[in-house]
Each structure stands twice: as structure tokens, then as C-alpha cells.
Amino acid sequence: MGFIMDGIGAEAYDRSYTDRELLKRIVGYFRAHLRVMGGVAIMVLLNSLMEAAFPILIAWGLNRIEARQGGNIWTQSWWLIGAIFLSGALAWTFNFVRQRYTARTVGDVVLALRKDAFDAVLARDMSFYDEFSSGRIVSRVTSDTQDFSNVVTLTLNLMSQLLQVVIIVGVLFTINVQLTLIALVIAPITVAAALAFRRIARHTTTQARRVLAEVNANVQESITGIAI
């Protein structure tokens, strides 16, 4: 079964970084956009609050309606319907603002990252390209930086989901502590599975990037060799 984890070997210029080193370098690129990212963080928080308020409002409203037997149900629930629609509309608005400014900021960061990568490529001497295909280098500059953009977007979505979980768990503790603790029993298992999957995903993603670079290199060499 070892062949499942096999793949194209690392290039001689590949480097290995720890999570702390990677985070430090990423923060360096976002340092010029701290004000915008602060606004994005606020939007993430507000969006999480509105998303978490949706199920909480439904549960609380249904309990109140059930406690008040008799009477017109529409009279008792019109405010609940309005609150649910309002929370949904605000959640959509906050998410729209977050995605808009995130897309602009990440685009600027990816542009700076590509410029730095391109400058590093130009700093190499000609003997470097005798050993490594230019198609692979171009793939690293373009495709890999685009994947970085996707990672930042997914990270912000993960932060929003985690905030929702924290808010809902806090509300659950106010309802029933014992049932909440029972529900949280699977949390360590979920975290352990996520950490184990991270190692596999990192290895698989790295291999996918190398395969894509190899394909681009072959395409580039094939097209370059076509005589016109």
C-alpha cells in the first residue's frame, strides 16, 4: 500500500517550513492591510453572531409559542418571523462585505507574492534553468500562489464556523450543562481526526502541485519544440 503515498520527489530548490515560520511570512504580507483585515475580522464576528442567532431564535420562539396555549398563532409569532428574516438578511450582508474586502485584500497579497516569486526567479543564473524546466517554475509562480488565495479564504470561513460553534455551545450551557457536556464528548475525537487529516492533506496537496508543475513543464517543452 506504500504506493498510495508515493509521488514525484521534491525539487532541489524546495524548502521545508514549520507552521510558525509559514504563519510569520504570511502575516508579513498582510501587515500592509491590517486596517482592512481588522474590518474583515469584525464582519466575521458579526456574521457568526447572526448565523448562530438563527437556530437560537427558532428554538426560543417555538418554546414561547408552546408555553402559550390558545390564541392566534400569527399574533404570537409575527415578531419571531421578522427576527428570523432580519438575522438572515444581516448575516447575508455581513458575509457579502467580508467576502468583498477579503477578495480585494487577498488579490493584493497574491500580487505581491507573485512579484516576489518572479523577482526570485529572475535572480537565478542561467545554469539554474539548465537543471530545472521553466514550465515548472512558471507553474509554481502562478498555480501555487492561487492555491494560497484559496487557503486564506477557507481559513476565514473556518474561523466563522468556529465562532458559531462557540456561541451555540455557550447558549447550550445555559440550557442544560449535562447534555452539553455529552455533546462535547466527540470534540476531542473530531480535533484529533482533523489534525491527522492535515498531515495527509498537506502531503497530497504538495504532490498535486508537483504533478501539475510536471504537466505544465511537458506542455511548455512540447509547444516550444514545435517548428513553424
CATH of the domain at 82: 1.20.1560.10
Tell me, yes or no, whether 40 lies in a domain: yes
Average pLDDT value for residue range 36-61: 87
In the predicted model, what is the mean pLDDT of the chain? 79
Evaluate whether residue 218 is within a structural domain: yes
- Looking at residue 8, the DSSP 8-state letter turns out to be P
Q: How far apart are CA 79 and CA 61, in angstroms?
A: 9
- Residue 11 located in a structural domain: no
Entry pTM: 0.69
Residue 153's closest CA among 113, 103, 109, 198?
103
* Domain assignment of residue 5, yes or no: no
**Grid-cell match 455551545, residue found:** 169
6, part of any domain: no
What is d(CA 165, CA 187) in angstroms, rounded to the nearest whole number?
Answer: 11
| CA gap 150, 47 in Å, rounded | 20
Cα distance between residue 54 and residue 46, in whole Å: 13
Range of the domain at 211: 16-224
Distance CA 40, CA 48 (A): 12
Q: Is residue 8 part of a domain?
A: no
Say which range, 54-58, 80-84, 115-119, 144-148, has the weakest mean pLDDT.
Answer: 144-148
Nearest to 39 by CA among 102, 129, 132, 126: 102
Backbone angles phi, psi at 139, to 5 degrees: -65, -40
Q: What is the pLDDT of residue 6?
A: 43
Q: Is residue 3 part of a domain?
A: no
User: Does pLDDT of 93 surpass 60?
Assistant: yes
Helix orientation angle between 134-175 and 73-122, rounded to the nearest 10 degrees = 150
> What is the domain count for the chain?
1
Distance CA 195, CA 189 (A): 10
Q: Which helix (H) or strand (E) element contains residue 77?
A: helix 73-122
Task: Flag whether 9 is in a domain.
Answer: no
Query: Tens digit of pLDDT for each residue in 200-212?
Result: 877 777 777 777 7
